Structures are given as structure tokens and as C-alpha cells.
A and B are shown apart, each in its own frame.
Chain A
């Protein structure tokens, strides 16, 4: 089955720093999403980005589908950005195919 790998596994930064999170996937996908899981466990959908680039405030994401990777950029980090960031891809082209999650990047922003 499709493999989803995220790096780095852990990242500790000072408030105000920028960061780049990476997601590699082993097969072609037509659905890729980035999620943020806050310390209370809530999963928030950040981007639906099967290809191209999107921006939302301090966050942006780029997916290069032909090279099977996606990047999540966080600029001017704030303590509220702390949590775990997951990349998730659809295994297959049918909308009924299951969504597979990467192992996540745990981000800690220090004040």
C-alpha cells in the first residue's frame, strides 16, 4: 500500500521563527491534506492541496505531485502553532478510497 513519511518527526523553535515540514508519499495521489492537531486532540484541516501552492495567512503549502512530496511552511511562528501536523493522502483515485495518515511532525514553539 501507499506509504506516507513526514519529516522531521520533532521540531522545537522559538516564537517568530519560520519552519518547513515535509511529506513524502510513495505513489501517485489525487488527494492530499494537511491537518493540525492541537494539544486537546482536535484535528483542524489546514489545506486540501493535491497539487500546486496555497496560502492562508502565515501558513502556505506546496505539493509537487510528479515528485511525490508536499511542503507546509509556517512563518513567524506563534505558541498557538504548537501541536502535531499530519499529512494525509488518499490511497487510490476513487473518492471512496481510504485516507492514509503520515506519522506526523510534533512542533513545539517556545515563547
Chain B
């Protein structure tokens, strides 16, 4: 299994600012993903974080709003840019184990934009 650490765990942000969320995995993993969970909703995939190259974004999500980095196999960051109250969500980092089946999640980062 993989242990995933995210920070910050919680933050209150001002409208128009940007925040970077960090995700650290305790072992090398093949795939890393970023999800958003809006209040009372399910998880929506934002993008797949690719090691050493640009992330692969899902429909409705763009790099200018959610820039992602993955400089190595165990670390990734997600930036939420120019935040508005609609960006208030839980942002979750996940990683796929080496066997390619089970995925694991970090504790999530709870962002509130005021």
C-alpha cells in the first residue's frame, strides 16, 4: 500500500488569490491523480499528473486554472489559481499502486474561498 500526505489539510483563502497543494507519496507510484469534491458531491477527476511532462486534464478543467507539477515519482503539486467561492471544495491527491489496480488517497485539502 501507499501512504499519501497532503498539505495544507485545510485553508481559508481570499478571493482572487492562488494556493498550491502538495502531495507526497511514501513510495514510487506509477500514476498520480488530482480530484475535486464539491460540498455534498462525488469525486471528479481534475487531471492525471504525469512525471516530467504536462498533466492530462479532464473536460472542464484547464491548465491555467489548475496548474499541476510532478517533478518525480513521489511528489506532485496542484495550484488553484485566481480562486472564487465556487472553488471551495476538498481537493484530493491519489496514487495508483505498482500492481496497477488499487488506488489510495491522501487526507484531502479542504479549501474555503471567501
Given contacts A33-B102, A43-B92, contact A101 B43 (CB under 8 A): yes
Residue of B nearest to A48 (CB): B102
Which of B11-19, B62-70, B71-79, B104-112 forms contacts with chain A? B104-112
Q: With A42-B108, A43-B105 known to touch, is A99 a contact of B42 (CB < 8 Å)?
A: no
Identify the A interface with B (CB < 8 A).
31, 33, 35, 40-43, 45, 48, 50, 86, 88, 95-96, 98-104
CA–CA, A99 to B45, complex, Å?
A: 8
Q: Enumerate chain A residues within 8 angstroms of B21, measured Cβ to Cβ.
A: none
- Which residues of B sit under 8 angstroms from A104, Cβ to Cβ? 42
Taking CB atoms, residues of chain B closer than 8 Å to A96 are 31, 48
Question: Which B residues between 92 and 114 are near A, CB-CB below 8 angstroms?
Answer: 92, 94, 96, 100-105, 107-108, 110
> With contacts A98-B33, A98-B48, A104-B42 known, is A45 near B92, CB below 8 A?
no
- Report whether A45 and B107 are in contact in the complex, using a CB–CB cutoff of 8 Å: no
Q: Which 5 A-B pairs have the closest CB atoms?
A: A95-B100, A43-B105, A101-B43, A41-B108, A48-B102
Most B CB within 10 A of own CB, among A42, A43, A95: A43
- The listed residue with most B CB atoms (<10 A of its CB), out of A50, A86, A96, is A96
B-chain residues with CB within 8 Å of residue A43 when the two chains form the complex: 92, 105, 108
Additional A-B contact list (13), CB under 8 Å, known A45-B103, A99-B45, A103-B41: A41-B37, A41-B90, A42-B107, A50-B101, A86-B43, A88-B103, A95-B101, A98-B33, A98-B58, A99-B94, A101-B42, A101-B43, A101-B44
